[in-house]
Amino acid sequence: MRGSDGHISNEFLAGIVAAVEAADGDRLAEIAEPIHEADLADILEALKGQQRRLFVQLLGSRFDFRSLTEVDDKVREEILDLLPTEAVVEGVRDLDTDDAVYILEDLDEGEQRQILDRMPEAERAPLQRSLEFPEESAGRRMQSEFIAVPPFWTVGQTIDYMRDSDDLPSEFYEIFIVDPAFRPIGTVTLNHLLRSKRPVPMEKIMDREIYTVRASEDQEVVARTFERYDLVSSAVIDDSERLVGVITVDNIIDVIEEEADEDIRLLGGVGDEEISDSVLSTTRSRFVWLLVNLGTAILASWVISLYDGSISQMVALAVLMPIVASMGGNAGTQTMTVAVRALATRDLARFNVRRVITRETIVGFLNGCMFAVIMGVVAAFWFANVQLGGVLAVAMVLNMLAAGVFGILIPLGLHRMKLDPAVASGPFVTTVTDVVGFFVFLGLGAWWFGLS
């Protein structure tokens, strides 16, 4: 099914397309039903608009709704708009609550209400409760299906309960032990349960060191908790510390991927852009970022215009000044990237911020000195002017020093002001290195050579 590059093979996709164009629903189901939902999502994204619609229509009730948690937002919205409400209701009912909420949360309130109102109360209540929590919170990511038993139950009672119950989660790793107020007081892993004798009370084998997260807590913070303590699952509690759900490691992997993807896109100025977006929406989303960068470019050009007379008298300044700005910009971007990542992973805090600032300042200065020697010699031989090489060397040191300082201080400042440093650091750092580079090199050159 997949080629050597890990993508859906052209031959397999051609078979899907042939079944779709022939309107052969049985053949399509025969091909598609055994496919994992992640692979099915890749097929949905590979199909063109009309083919995608026919694909979903031909499968009908056999369409795997789990695949909608793996596709781009735009593709998911398109498919949900295509399906009748009853089909969406039935599809959502077959999902775990975390997957169902993931699909429903992007719909507007009216569409959510239409779907939820047609579900039985027992299935509707946990979905409504999860949707009431803030976006990108633990409450939106949690499964409402979990196993919780009192501490006085025995191992045998717990096993019999799990055998007889029809409401078990599809996958689980541990059993929660709760007090009379339904607050979690411990956990028992499945392997520990199965190795214990039936008469043993659960409180005798439970692990009292339990990690919990609040339902209102940001999903990125929860992901860091999983990473820090090597968790497989964690209890989710409400403001009254009652157990309301469970988050598992498969949810956290998705969160880590989403957050990393978001930071990369924000650094590049493409926001929440998806690969399936249209030309118009992509152009519109990128325009604002490019407009901001245009403003910073105009500022750098204005600095250059202050020395247009000097440049006209000594063309070598015009030839060399992009080198100073470029090296400063690259050095600043390196420092900024390290800072933004450290802030995102909570590795940069009060106890080490001064040391990191000092380190980046020294790194900028040392790199500036090394490249100053290289470019000073190059410029001296290039233009047969040792003094010009010296001016370039001094400017290189100062600009790369500024790159190290501002590359760390700008993300820290934005973070302190509660702004996302991944969004705004790039233009500010680039502007500073361009302005400092041009101002120092051209100003120093004009002063040293007595240019007007």
In this prediction, residues 68-79 reach a mean pLDDT of 86
If you average pLDDT over each of 234-238, 298-302, 428-432, which comes out highest? Answer: 234-238
Whole-number mean pLDDT of the chain?
86
Residue 61 to residues 55, 69, 88, 96, 452, Cα–Cα distance (Å):
12, 17, 10, 17, 79
Residue 341: predicted pLDDT: 78
- The whole-number pLDDT of residue 353 equals 87
Q: What is the average pLDDT across 41-69?
A: 86
Question: Does pLDDT of 303 surpass 80?
Answer: yes
pLDDT at 9: 78
Is pLDDT of 141 > 60? yes
Alpha carbon distance 65, 100 (integer Å): 9
pLDDT for position 182: 95
- Alpha-carbon distance of 65 to 103, in angstroms, equals 9
Residues of the chain above pLDDT 90, percent: 33
Asked whether residue 312 carries a pLDDT value surpassing 90, the answer given is no
Residue 419 makes CB contacts below 8 A (sequence gap 6+) with none
Q: How does pLDDT run across 342-390, given as a tens digit for each residue?
A: 887 777 777 888 898 999 999 999 999 999 999 999 999 999 999 999 9
Q: Assign 292 a pLDDT band (cuts: 50, 70, 90).
A: confident
Domains and CATH numbers, the chain: 10-132 (1.25.60.10), 148-268 (3.10.580.10), 279-448 (1.10.357.20)
Phi, psi of 330 (to 5 degrees): -65, -40
The residue with greater pLDDT, 451 or 72, is 72
pLDDT given for residue 85 in this prediction: 87
User: In this predicted structure, what is the pLDDT of residue 452?
Assistant: 57
Q: What pLDDT, on a 0 to 100 scale, did the predictor assign at position 108?
A: 86
Q: Which residue has the higher pLDDT, 423 or 381?
A: 381
Q: What is the CB neighbour count within 10 angstroms for residue 170?
A: 9
For residue 55, the one-letter residue type is F
User: Token pair for residue 32?
Assistant: 């598609």
Which of 173-182, 205-214, 275-284 is predicted least confidently? 275-284
3-state helix, strand, coil split of the chain in percent (to 5) is: 70, 10, 25
225 against 421, higher pLDDT? 225
Concatenate the DSSP letters of all residues of 399-428 into one string: HHHHHHHHHHHHHHHHHHTT--HHHHHHHH
Write the Ramachandran bin of 344: left for phi over 0, alpha for psi from -120 to 50, otherwise beta.
Answer: alpha
The answer to whether 210 and 268 are in contact (CB under 8 A) is no
207: closest CA among 245, 167, 235?
235
| pLDDT number for residue 2 | 57
Q: Residue 423: what pLDDT?
A: 67
Per-residue pLDDT tens digits for 314-336: 888 888 988 998 898 889 888 98
* Distance, CA of 308 to chain centre: 45
Residue 6: pLDDT over 60: no
Mean pLDDT of 284-302: 78
Higher pLDDT pick, 138 / 422: 138
